[in-house]
Amino acid sequence: MADCIKIVVGFDQREAIAYHTFSQSVLEKSSLPVLFLPLSMNTLKGYKETHNDKSNDFVYSRFLTPYLHNFEGWAIFADGDMVCQSDIKELWDLRDETKALQVVMHDYKTKFNQKYLGNTNENYPRKNWSSLILWNCSHPKHKVLTPDFISSQTGKYLHRFSWLDDEDIGELPIDWNWLAIEYPNNPKAKIIHYTLGTPCFKDYRNTDMSGMWLEVQKKVNEGIDK
């Protein structure tokens, strides 16, 4: 479909409502058709998850995005624990054909050593860069990103985009991946990322910027009790 924005979204059954809430937030503001592809493990028939250090089901499968698009065109990958407050076309319009991918280049150390469901929250280089990726799927260097290759690589290698040179990585404005709680309150952020815990979890229901997520989540449930 011409002029269609393709979005691959991380999906984990333990927080399924996060996927639906993020999708709702995108749909209600998008000025172009959007095609969502949830990274649900049971649908990724060609991929076998071999890693034992994952905090959710899409820690590594996100790197399948170019493969899932036959190494053609562009796509957005987004963690499911986000809410979009702007027209996603604004992000789509930032595509730079000279880059293999584009990310928000976070430079921070976490304030908390634990996050949702008791997962360890470690500091490491390029932390959270891979949580929102504008992928140039047709870039030739992505050809290595096959299911077998991804299964055999470490998190360090993949999340630091080690198959690329630094000049292949383009920078996005920080408002497109604003880290709730880790960063100061920013009601005008274009995408809010609840990296420590989605407000669907009771421990994060009343944390900084959780109200934006909860407002969208209400719209997902509208009509259920009517």
Q: Exposed, middle or buried: residue 49 (CB in 10 Å: 0-12, 13-18, 19+)?
A: middle
Average pLDDT taken over every residue of the chain: 90
SS3 assignment, position 222: coil
Q: What is the pTM of this model?
A: 0.91
- Between residues 99 and 120, which one has the greater pLDDT? 99
**Is the per-residue pLDDT at 225 higher than 60?**
no
- Between residues 192 and 54, which one has the greater pLDDT? 192
Domains of the chain, by residue range, sit at 5-221
pLDDT in tens, 179-223: 999 999 999 999 999 999 889 888 889 988 999 999 999 999 875
- Give, for 23, the enclosing helix (H) or strand (E): helix 16-27
Q: How many CB atoms lie within 10 A of CB 20?
A: 18
Q: How many CB atoms lie within 10 A of CB 199?
A: 24
**Is the per-residue pLDDT at 146 higher than 90?**
yes
**Is the per-residue pLDDT at 51 higher than 70?**
no
User: What architecture (CATH level 2) is domain 5-221?
Assistant: Alpha-Beta Complex (3.90)
The whole-number pLDDT of residue 53 equals 60
**Is the per-residue pLDDT at 141 higher than 90?**
yes
The whole-number pLDDT of residue 115 equals 62
The whole-number pLDDT of residue 125 equals 79
Q: Can you read off the two tokens belonging to residue 133?
A: 């990726």
**In the beta sheet, which residues pair with residue 165?**
none
**Is the per-residue pLDDT at 1 higher than 80?**
no
Percentage of the chain exceeding pLDDT 70: 88
Rounded (10°) angle between helices 16-27 and 210-221: 90
Phi and psi at 92, nearest 5°, equal -55, -35
Q: Can you read off the two tokens belonging to residue 131?
A: 């949580």
Residue 19 confidence class, pLDDT cut points 50, 70, 90: very high
Whether 34 contacts 5, CB under 8 Å: yes
The whole-number pLDDT of residue 197 equals 87
Q: How many CB atoms lie within 10 A of CB 136?
A: 23
The whole-number pLDDT of residue 185 equals 96
pLDDT in tens, 151-187: 999 988 999 999 999 999 999 999 999 999 999 999 9
